[in-house]
Every structure is written in structure tokens, then in C-alpha cells.
Amino acid sequence: MPTENNIRFDERQFKSSGEVACYLYAAGILSSTAYDMGYIDDFTLSGPKVASEERISKRRSDYGQKIKVVMGSKTQEGKLVLTDFNADNLNMAFLGESALINNASGTVADEEVIVKKGQLSRLAHRLVSDVVVESLATGGITYDAGTDYEVDVNFGFIRIPENSTIPDGSVFVSYSHAAEKGFSVKADVKKIIEAKLVFSGRDLARDNRLVEITIHKANLVLSGDLPIIADKMATLELKVDVLAVNNESVTYVEIEG
């Protein structure tokens, strides 16, 4: 009799690298173009969960035994952990809409600002320079920078120290400001974000063969914490609720090459 098992088994391990493209739905219509979601720390898809209802017998002969199972709804979830804090990903996380910031440089004369000792007041612009603070719009007392007031030139804050000669109330500020370019995201503009997600990558464990995984439709929402100040690099963790569209939910494609 044979004493050894000579049948070879080829284990199909999986370790991938790749990118995720996101196609957004707008009013139920899928966009024909996608955006690259950038660097991703984790993309996990759970197995489907099927709700069921069991019928338990009350007859004397088989009391307490399961006699029927009725299958109910099926759900499937996943998660995306993003490290790229671009406008599109932040829109996704905050159910928001982004807008470009493209403000020209300029000068401001005699902007009225309400101040109070020990507290911060905000100018109308960021990236300020040549700041002059006076008691009146027509001139009046010109206060001393560093002694009577302090300026955060990046964000346009003015702080009045406790020992300042500036009384609580209005002052008039003249300054220059540099051009601003960037973006802003207004949160909670949308009730829900739906998208098609396409992972395109390679299976590093099996000859770098091509792998494509498509989630045809999903609801996306921020699920993890967003650490504003932390020791580690921040991430955006999105919960992925898989939806069915045209009888499709998830498709896995593997190409040898």
C-alpha cells in the first residue's frame, strides 16, 4: 500500500498591489469617467451576509427542531482606507462638494475688526503682510506690532495681549495679502454618495498576473475616526455598502500575463 501522498496541490495565494478608480453616480446616472483614489492602505471586501428566518417545530414528535429556513435579504460590506487627502476623497468622506480657491493678491485699507484682550480676531484674508492697526479709520493712534497686537500672517488672525494699550472694541486694519490657490470642501451637502469602484492591479503572489475587481455600485460613507492632531499619519476610512445593479454586485477578473 502507498505510504505517501504524491498528489500535488497548487495553493492559489493572493497578495495584490494596485489602484482604485472611482466612477460616481449623479441622479442615478453613472459617470463615464473616473478619478484615481490615490494611495490606499487597505481595501477589504467581506463575504455576503444572508438574513434568514428559522421555523422551529412545536409538535410533540419533533418539538424544538428546525423544520424550515426562509432566506431573506443579502448584504455585503467592505472598507477603503485612503491616505490621499485630495478634494475628491474628502468629498466622499464628508458627503460634500468642493470648490476651487483662486483669489488674487491685493491690499486692504481700514478693515474694521472687533477685538478683545486675550482673544483672537480674524481678518478677511489669509497670507497677510505689512499689517498696520489703528484706532480710527481716519488714522488716530497707530498701535505697536508685537506689543499691542500679534499677527498670524498665514491665517490672518490678530491677537490682543492682556497688557496691550488697545481697548476692547473696534480697530481698523490695513494690510496686503498674497494670492490664494487651493480648494475647500463643504460637508453634508449630499445625503448619500454612490459609486462604482474598479480595483486594477497585480497578484504579487502568483506571477504578477493581472487582477481586476469591480464593485458595480456601492454607498460610501466615512466610518472611521479622522485624527486632526495625532502621532501617526491620518487616513480616511470609508465604509462600502455593496448594492446590486442590473443583477450584478461584484466581479472578479484574473488574466495570466
Q: What is the pLDDT of residues 30-50, one digit of tens each?
A: 999 999 999 888 888 887 776
Is the confidence at residue 1, as pLDDT, over 60? no
Residue 86 near residue 39 (C-beta atoms within 8 A) = no
Is the confidence at residue 5, as pLDDT, over 70? no
Provide the whole-model pTM. Answer: 0.74
CB atoms within 10 A of CB 128: 22
In this prediction, residue 154 carries a pLDDT of 98
Per-residue exposure over 73-108, b if at least 16 CB sit within 10 Å of its own CB, e if not: eeebbbebbbeeebbbbbbbbbbbebeeeeeeeeee
**Residue 233: band (very low, low, confident or very high) from pLDDT cuts 50, 70, 90:** confident
Instruction: Supply the Cα-derived Rg of the chain in whole angstroms.
Output: 30
pLDDT tens per residue, range 171-222: 999 999 999 999 999 999 988 899 999 999 888 777 788 889 999 999 998 8
pLDDT tens per residue, range 59-78: 878 788 877 776 656 678 88
**Residue 126: band (very low, low, confident or very high) from pLDDT cuts 50, 70, 90:** very high
**Residue 114: band (very low, low, confident or very high) from pLDDT cuts 50, 70, 90:** very high
Task: Kindly list the domain boundaries of the chain, sorted by start residue.
Answer: 16-55+67-99+187-255, 105-178
